Amino acid sequence: MTITFQQIVFIAISAFTIISAWIVVTNRNLFHAAIALMASFAGVAGLYILLEAGFLAASQLLVYIGAISILIMFAIMMTRRLMQTAESPYNLQWKWGIVAAFLIFILLAVLIFQTWPADTYAAPPVQSPAALRGSVTDLGIALVSVDQYVLPFEVASVLLLAALVGAIVIAWPEDDR
């Protein structure tokens, strides 16, 4: 089996994503972990581009790197005294965490390679560039058409509004509420 250029790109992006994610869960310094989290999000956006979902990649960059990471950095800076502590970043049950994560990983890996064998699902169905561009148009129409996703779409907007109001109310100082 020869390795194609696309596979090399995939392996490189995946390795970058996973190493960044590893830094996120292990680094003692929370600020460095947040930077690594941004790198991991960027790697996931690269995977979306490999999957020819350009719109999702752009949303990933905007929402995750542009908004969520910055929000997390604000929170880290506001709780700054605890950013870098001499004590361990892990609690007492971290060994059980390793066991649980490892067992679930084994389970998932077995399931994945048995249910979707690499030779049956070797490549995505060929789509013309026009059809892939059309998928974004279809998504836009599906999100607002009555027989598809208009109700989840409206519920999502109500959820975002509730989160907006709720975040302000929760973070407001107790004494002048």
Q: Which of residues 23-82 bind another protein (CB under 8 A)?
A: 24-25, 30, 33-34, 37, 40-41, 44, 47-48, 50-53, 55-56, 59-60, 63-64, 67-68, 71-72, 74-76, 78-79, 82
Minimum distance, C-beta of residue 40 to another protein, in the bound complex (Å): 7
Binding of another protein by 144 (CB under 8 A) = no
134 phi, psi to nearest 5 deg: -65, -25
**Identity of residue 25:** V
Binding of another protein by 168 (CB under 8 A) = yes
Minimum distance, C-beta of residue 30 to another protein, in the bound complex (Å): 6
Q: What character string, x for contact with another protein (CB under 8 A) and - otherwise, covers 94-133?
A: x-xxx-xxx-xx--xx--xx--xxxx-xxxxx-x---xx-
Taking alpha carbons only, the member of 9, 42, 47 closest to residue 24 is 42
Binding of another protein by 150 (CB under 8 A) = no
Binding of another protein by 84 (CB under 8 A) = no
Q: How far from 121 is each of 113, 116, 118, CA to CA, in Å? A: 11, 6, 5
Q: Please give the Cα distance from 96 to 104 (Å, whole number).
A: 12
Collect all residues with Cβ–Cβ distance below 8 Å to 139 and sequence separation of at least 6. Answer: 55
The length of the chain in residues reads 177
